[in-house]
Amino acid sequence: METTTPSMPRIGDLAPDFESMTTTGKMKFSEYIKDSWTILFSHPADFTPVCTTEMSGFALDQKFFDEHQTKLVGLSIDSIHAHIAWVNNVKKNTGVLFEFPIIADIDMSVSKLYGMLQPGESETAAVRAVFFIDPAGKIRLIMYYPLNVGRNMEEIKRALIALQTADKHKVALPLNWTPGEKAIVPPPKTVEEMIAREESDYEMVDFYLAKKELPLN
Ligand code: BEZ
């Protein structure tokens, strides 16, 4: 087993670029994701039960991701033929169609580039990774799950809304924040700002921990 720590993309890095075959055709990643939010997610293998529930979950929430200007891109270390057969199988069995592209990473190049191949977990299957990438192409949030535990779609959607909300209103968001709840105002940088804060209608725990309502839109 590999004992060195491989380099992996980090929050704040530009999403590494690649070209690959997908279920919707050839993709140059940087061009496909240009000016859009993107969720790039890997799964261990086609025709496996947990993966089928997860991919179906993304497909069933396609409208949510469209409404949040977010492209979905799936990946596993399987051939394009296996992907197409699996998409067809799930559609026939459940009526759910995976419309988003699924990368056929048969040479593992994208999995390695994104640290999705974690040899302590599996030498041949990608772990369940989720990369949230902003319209500037920057990685903003990363999740990694092991092979035997499925992800939480509600948390994926909450995290996406939280990132978009934090950007739009230039705020931070507290523990367990959900849409409609108050946001954290950045701490004051001067004594003058600290004193001004006392006159504000912020909910103040102390001068450095203040919350405010966000406008509805
Ligand atoms: C699954 O998706 O069910 C799965 C895939 C690889 C290992 C274990 C479970």
Over residues 6-37, the pLDDT tens digits come to: 679 999 999 999 999 999 999 999 999 999 99
φ, ψ (nearest 5 deg) of residue 202: -65, 150
Chain centre distance of CA 53: 17
Residue 143 β-bridge partners: 130
CA of 49 to the centre of ligand 1 (A): 6
Here the tokens at position 98 are 């995976």
CA distance 6 to 119: 10
Give me the sheet containing 102-104, strands edge to edge.
25-28, 19-22, 102-104, 70-76, 37-42, 128-133, 139-145
Give the H/E segment covering residue 86. helix 80-94
CA distance 66 to 72: 9
Is 124 in contact with 32 (CB distance < 8 Å)? Answer: no
φ, ψ (nearest 5 deg) of residue 86: -70, -45
Over residues 120-136, the pLDDT tens digits come to: 999 999 999 999 999 99
Residue nearest to atom 7 of ligand 1 (CA): 147
CA of 106 to the centre of ligand 1 (A): 17
Percent of the chain with pLDDT over 70: 97
Residue 102 β-bridge partners: 74
Ligand 1 mutation pick, 43, 47, 51, max ligand atoms within 8 A of CB: 51
CA of 178 to the centre of ligand 1 (A): 30
Is 22 in contact with 100 (CB distance < 8 Å)? Answer: no
Question: Of 51, 102, 133, 159, which residue is the catalytic one?
Answer: 51
pLDDT at 3 over 60: no
Q: Across all residues in the chain, what is the average pLDDT?
A: 95
Rounded to two decimals, what is the model's pTM? 0.95
Q: Please, what is the end-to-end C-alpha distance for the chain in angstroms?
A: 50
Is 114 in contact with 73 (CB distance < 8 Å)? Answer: no
Ligand 1, CB cutoff 6 Å, lining residues = 44-45, 48-51, 125, 147-148
**131 given a catalytic annotation:** no
Positions of E strands within 59-200: 70-76, 102-104, 128-133, 139-145, 183-184
Least confident of 30-34, 44-48, 208-212: 208-212
